[in-house]
Amino acid sequence: MDAGASQEEEIKRAKIDNGQQFLERLVPMMFDMIQDITCNRDSKVVNFLHPDEMQKRINFSIADGPCSNDKILASLKDVIKYSVKTGHPHFYNQLYGGFNAHGLGGALLTEALNGSQYTYEVAPVFTMMEKSVLGDMLKLIGFNDGDAMFTPGGSMANMYAINLARYQKFPVIKETGLFGLPKMCLFTSEKGHYSISKGAGFLGLGMDNVKKVKTDAQGRMIPADLEKQILECKAEGYEPFMVNCTAGSTVIGAYDPVEAIADITERHGLWLHVDGAWGGAVLLSDNLKYKVKGIHRADSMTWNPHKLMMAPQQCACFFTKHKDILADGHSANAKYLFQQDKFYDPSYDSGDKSIQCGRKVDVLKLWTLWKSTGKLQMAKNIESMFNCATYLSKLCAKTEGFRMVPGLENPECTNVCFWYIPPSMRGQEETPEWWARLAKIPMEIKKRMSQQGTMMCGYQPDGDRVNFWRMVITNHDNTEQDMDFVVKEIARLGNDL
């Protein structure tokens, strides 16, 4: 070996050693954080800094020269410290959260393998794993001969539904677009997720052409209003093509009545999509699946295992009962990637059914999580969260200063919606001014909550109901004691307001 080659070898060796040292020092930092949040509920959910403080605290800028392991690991320590701990049992802020070691393991291995799913050739194991896992989920829905695809989030899955629904009605759209077609419209409840509107905008249908169907006091779509609006739209010259039925609405957790809506969509020849991104996991439990009774009559479904099943982010799926429509509606037949003269059966190549090209592997983390847990225990985990929600709603109803939002006393999903009324506001006439004052209480409490980092929970208005707390239980490890804590903590934080 000449001197040059030997020097090159040395540089290469030093680089490998440096990388290995980085990983060897980083992994224990990660595991310490996990240990902290899973074994110590008193640990902080967040150390909140405002943007300008964050900017000063962490040196985000990338320099011309390399950054040493010491420096970058010191920064990553701060990244950990100031990031929100979504795996903490007192993180109730979003429709996902919690920690499962097997799920994380699957996610870590996904990163180490750094795969992408276009073809069987480049993702042989994950192609077969997807077939198996998605096949199990299809059976739970009742789409026994259907097809499915992981998507980057539930919003994208809902957009898949919109695109395929209109494709089924007018296949010509794929080639020649919406030009010259009658104005099309689709329906969702006024409490449905905003991705339906966003999707209609993105897909060229227009947000105004999403018709919002009225809901009852529990936030569920009123079938009679749906049918009325369909007829009105037809009379106005619209071409209705799809109804989105929400299974677990974002704020309230409402389940639209699938059977009654399916009667209507069948009568009018409309595509029925069930957005079960949030609440679809009731299909896993024999005791809860009545909430989506009739779902086998739908044409498609969105279901995010990263929500109630507690798979790591991002794990979302689109399902359809129509076996060929993902391929027919999405394929572009790029010859360089999906050529047919291959040495293996190219029917296993899933890439052209997606609207992505490279697609991150999302199945492994779900598989490790679900397989290690088992189907029966997974069902129990889902039920346990629903039980926590019921317990919390009863606790709020009987605790002084807490009031359940009217109509939502019995949560349908794990969303629990309530006001906290501080002592200074109790026993007074509830004038518009009183409500306006109550509307500001959550923000004040939230500020303290973030500063003290003891828990995280969201609030929002809903129609003419002023800002209320929306607790969501998404963590399989949550207990009744956690619910006790939530009530006590909100009262403690807001007691003097």
- Give, as ranges, the residues between 266 and 325 that touch its own copies (CB under 8 A): 306, 312-314, 316
Taking CB under 8 A as the rule, does residue 83 contact its own copies? Answer: yes
By CB under 8 A, the residues from 140 to 179 that bind its own copies are 152-156, 159, 163, 166, 173-179
Taking CB under 8 A as the rule, does residue 492 contact its own copies? Answer: no
By CB under 8 A, the residues from 379 to 438 that bind its own copies are none
Q: Determine the interface stretch with its own copies among 289-297, 385-393, 398-406, 459-467 (rule: CB under 8 A).
A: 459-467
By CB under 8 A, the residues from 427 to 446 that bind its own copies are 440, 443-444, 446
- Taking the C-alpha atoms of residue 495 and residue 48, their distance in angstroms, rounded to an integer, is 22
Q: In the bound complex, what is the minimum distance in angstroms from residue 494's beta carbon to its own copies?
A: 14
Give burial (CB, 10 Å; 0-12/13-18/19+) of 24. Answer: exposed
Contact of 416 with 389, CB cutoff 8 Å? yes
Residue 312 burial (CB count, 10 A): 26
Q: 239 has which bridge partners?
A: 184
Q: In the bound complex, what is the minimum distance in angstroms from residue 36's beta carbon to its own copies?
A: 12
Q: In the bound complex, what is the minimum distance in angstroms from residue 451's beta carbon to its own copies?
A: 9
Taking CB under 8 A as the rule, does residue 114 contact its own copies? Answer: yes
Nearest residue (CB) to its own copies, 264 versus 425:
425
Q: In the bound complex, what is the minimum distance in angstroms from residue 434's beta carbon to its own copies?
A: 18
Nearest residue (CB) to its own copies, 295 versus 309:
309
Nearest residue (CB) to its own copies, 237 versus 406:
237
Instruction: Please state whether beta strands 316-320 and 147-151 pair in parallel, antiparallel, or not at all (unpaired).
Output: antiparallel
Nearest residue (CB) to its own copies, 242 versus 262:
242
Q: Determine the interface stretch with its own copies among 76-84, 139-147, 227-235, 386-394 (rule: CB under 8 A).
A: 76-84
Q: Determine the interface stretch with its own copies among 122-130, 140-148, 216-224, 402-410 (rule: CB under 8 A).
A: 122-130
Taking CB under 8 A as the rule, does residue 256 contact its own copies? Answer: no
Q: In the bound complex, what is the minimum distance in angstroms from residue 438's beta carbon to its own copies?
A: 13
Query: Which residue in the set 188, 195, 454, 475 belongs to the binding site for its own copies (CB under 8 A)?
Result: 195
By CB under 8 A, the residues from 332 to 351 that bind its own copies are 332-337, 339, 341-345, 348
- Taking the C-alpha atoms of residue 10 and residue 291, their distance in angstroms, rounded to an integer, is 64
Contact of 45 with 85, CB cutoff 8 Å? yes
Output the six-digit token pair for 181: 């077609």
Q: Which residue has the tokens 């006439």?
A: 429
Query: Which residue in the set 14, 231, 357, 436 belongs to the binding site for its own copies (CB under 8 A)?
Result: 357
Q: In the bound complex, what is the minimum distance in angstroms from residue 207's beta carbon to its own copies?
A: 5
Output the six-digit token pair for 25: 């020092």
Taking CB under 8 A as the rule, does residue 74 contact its own copies? Answer: no
Please calculate the CA angle 424-425-429 and round it to the nearest 5 degrees: 140
Q: Determine the interface stretch with its own copies among 180-188, 295-303, 390-398, 426-434 (rule: CB under 8 A).
A: 180-188
Q: Determine the interface stretch with its own copies among 99-107, 288-296, 381-389, 483-491 (rule: CB under 8 A).
A: 99-107
Q: In the bound complex, what is the minimum distance in angstroms from residue 457's beta carbon to its own copies?
A: 11
Nearest residue (CB) to its own copies, 43 versus 313:
313
Amino acid at 231: L
Contact of 158 with 186, CB cutoff 8 Å? no
Contact of 368 with 108, CB cutoff 8 Å? no
Question: Rg for the chain (alpha carbons), in Å?
Answer: 25
By CB under 8 A, the residues from 205 to 224 that bind its own copies are 205-209
What 3-state class would DSSP assign to 371?
helix
Amino acid at 436: A
Instruction: Please state whether beta strands 184-189 and 210-213 pair in parallel, antiparallel, or not at all (unpaired).
Output: parallel
Contact of 193 with 221, CB cutoff 8 Å? no
- Taking the C-alpha atoms of residue 472 and residue 389, their distance in angstroms, rounded to an integer, is 8
Q: In the bound complex, what is the minimum distance in angstroms from residue 493's beta carbon to its own copies?
A: 12
Contacts with 363 (C-beta within 8 Å, 6 or more apart), sequence order: 126, 129, 130, 133, 134, 150
Beta strands in 372-414 (DSSP E): 402-404
Taking CB under 8 A as the rule, does residue 452 contact its own copies? Answer: no
Query: Which residue in the set 1, 3, 11, 23 belongs to the binding site for its own copies (CB under 8 A)?
Result: 23
What 3-state class would DSSP assign to 40?
coil
- Taking the C-alpha atoms of residue 154 and residue 40, their distance in angstroms, rounded to an integer, is 32
Handedness of CA 213, 214, 220, 224 (dihedral sign): negative
Nearest residue (CB) to its own copies, 375 versus 488:
375
Query: Which residue in the set 22, 43, 387, 399 belongs to the binding site for its own copies (CB under 8 A)?
Result: 22
Output the six-digit token pair for 267: 């009568």
Nearest residue (CB) to its own copies, 84 versus 292:
84
Q: In the bound complex, what is the minimum distance in angstroms from residue 259's beta carbon to its own copies?
A: 28
Q: In the bound complex, what is the minimum distance in angstroms from residue 146's beta carbon to its own copies?
A: 18
Query: Which residue in the set 10, 124, 434, 480 belongs to the binding site for its own copies (CB under 8 A)?
Result: 124
Output the six-digit token pair for 136: 């199990």
Q: Determine the interface stretch with its own copies among 92-100, 138-146, 427-435, 486-494 (rule: CB under 8 A).
A: 92-100
Report DSSP letters for 420-455, one per residue: E--GGGTTS---HHHHHHHHHHHHHHHHHHHHHTS-
Please calculate the CA angle 300-305-311 and round it to the nearest 5 degrees: 165
